[in-house]
Structure 1
Amino acid sequence: MLPCLNKKLFGLDCLGCGFQRSLLHVIKGDFVAAFNIYPAIYTLVLMAIFFILNLKFKFKSGKKIIIIFAIINVLIIITSYFIKMKPIFTT
């Protein structure tokens, strides 16, 4: 696994911390653990699959759908980050 430079330097998780472990859990079939580690894993995987399909088939509204996926992913990532970091910010 690649180490998180942000966590090594500052001692805080970054917005992407947990993605690699979560992806490994998905590959192993442990879907609940994957979601608990990184809640955006499933929407990111769906977006990646759609992006690849869109490159091949050029869907009519593919760009709009990718933008919607990106917005949803950013919201999930930021929300889950602040929920995970809440104990740090309140102390």
Structure 2
Amino acid sequence: MSIVVDDSWMLPCFTKQMIGMDCPGCGIQRSISLLLQGKVIDSFFMYPALLPAIFLLGFLIFDMFVNIKYGEKIKLWGTIIVTGTILTSYIIKLSFI
């Protein structure tokens, strides 16, 4: 059984409309839509930083309620990984355009 997700909620990219160039966030809405449809691999290839960002967000919420011994280091490295993934995938995307 396949879940059909309505993509009418997606907003156009303001940066792409104004200067005709993708922004570092381009693809995240389609990636979320693919993830909601259960297409995890397609979602990852659409926007690689989404999955690490979801895990980081989940950890941040969990850390608000539970005191974790190395919580600050985990948050720092999680932020570095998410930011690095966004920048790396954006640079790769720009090099193939």
| TM over 0.5, shorter chain | yes
> What TM-score, normalized to structure 1?
0.89
Q: Percent identity between the aligned chains?
A: 39
Could you list the structure 1 runs, at least 4 aligned residues long, displaced by more than 3 angstroms after superposition. none
Quote the offset at 1:63 in angstroms.
2.0
* SS across alignment from 1:67: helix
Determine the structure 1 residue equivalent to 2:78: 69
Determine the structure 2 residue equivalent to 1:78: 87
CA RMSD of the aligned region, Å? 1.1
- Alignment pair present for 1:9 and 2:28: no
**Which string of whole-angstrom CA distances, capped at 9 and with x for unpartnered residues, describes residues 58-78 of structure 1?**
323212211110101111111
Letter in 1 for 2:96: P
Letter in 2 for 1:82: I
Determine the structure 2 residue equivalent to 1:20: 29
Quote the offset at 1:56 in angstroms.
1.4
> What TM-score, normalized to structure 2?
0.84
Structure 1 unaligned blocks of 5 or more: none
Bigger helix fraction: 1
